[in-house]
């Protein structure tokens, strides 16, 4: 029987409880065998502030005690911008017979028509869109090819967390404790 694996792509700069709630709820609702946080290397549509090795370490710290969640860092080892279709092709070659589900937020889904090789990506995985607080379902022709999942959403953003750390404000209860400790130990997101 084939495995059913979810991929939650992101920069995870830093990974936070909103990411983990979505991962847990969607994995449960879709009956996934495993859900992987797919850490972006050099995402072509978004900038990351921290080096890839920090983002991977934070993601691993966040899921260390959850046997259903894991981290896939393959994109951080590739040079240049990373594209979902290329990653999905690699996964299919390595894991023939596995059914992949690619999770993304409504904000990212709004830009699907601009994704490189989006038609190929949609053939290689089932795309599942999870809305964020205040987001609306995007309106474009590709939305007919994705599945929408409602999940309890936590209104936390990595951008806001970085700003809070830079200003000396607490991020406790918004990131897992091991992530908060990692950020402090490595001085991430501090000014200068």
Residue 164 in domain? yes
pLDDT given for residue 184 in this prediction: 97
- Evaluate whether 20 touches 56 at the Cβ level (below 8 Å): no
Q: Could you give the number of structural domains in the chain?
A: 1
How far from 192 is each of 24, 26, 167, 186, CA to CA, in Å?
36, 38, 12, 14
The answer as to whether 77 is a domain residue is yes
The predicted-structure confidence for 147-157, as pLDDT tens digits, reads as follows 988 887 788 99
CB 14 within 8 A of CB 56: no
- The CATH number covering residue 156 comes to 3.40.50.620
Whether 144 is covered by a domain: the verdict is yes
The two beta strands, 99-105 and 4-10, are parallel
Mean pLDDT over each residue of the chain, to the nearest integer: 92
Q: How far apart are the C-alpha atoms of 71 and 112, rounded to whole Å?
A: 24
pTM across the whole model: 0.91
Enumerate residue ranges in the chain where pLDDT < 70.
43-47, 132-135
Rounded CA gap, 95 and 136, in Å? 34
Span 25-63, pLDDT tens digits: 999 999 999 999 999 987 655 667 899 999 999 999 999
Decide the pairing of beta strands 126-130 and 34-39. Answer: unpaired
What token pair was written down for 13?
């700069």
Domain extent, residue 92, equals: 4-186
In a domain, 192, yes or no: no
The answer to the question of residue 152 being in a domain is yes
Look at residue 191 and tell me if it is in a domain.
no
């Amino acid at each position: 029987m084939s495995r059913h694996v979810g991929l939650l792509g992101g920069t995870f700069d830093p990974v936070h409880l909103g990411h983990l709630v979505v991962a847990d709820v969607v994995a449960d609702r879709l009956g996934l065998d495993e859900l992987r946080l797919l850490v972006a290397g050099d995402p072509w549509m978004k900038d990351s502030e921290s080096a890839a090795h920090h983002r991977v370490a934070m993601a691993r710290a966040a899921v260390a005690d959850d046997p259903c969640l894991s981290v896939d860092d393959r994109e951080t080892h590739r040079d240049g911008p990373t594209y979902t279709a290329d990653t999905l092709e690699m996964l299919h070659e390595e894991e023939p017979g596995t059914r992949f589900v690619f999770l993304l937020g409504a904000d990212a889904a709004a830009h699907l028509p601009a994704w490189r090789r989006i038609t190929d990506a949609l053939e290689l995985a089932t795309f599942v869109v999870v809305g964020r607080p205040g987001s609306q379902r995007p309106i474009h022709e590709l939305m007919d090819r994705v599945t929408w999942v409602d999940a309890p959403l936590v209104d936390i953003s990595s951008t806001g967390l970085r700003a809070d750390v830079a200003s000396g404000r607490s991020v406790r209860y918004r990131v897992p404790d091991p992530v908060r400790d990692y950020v402090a130990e490595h001085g991430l997101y501090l000014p200068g």
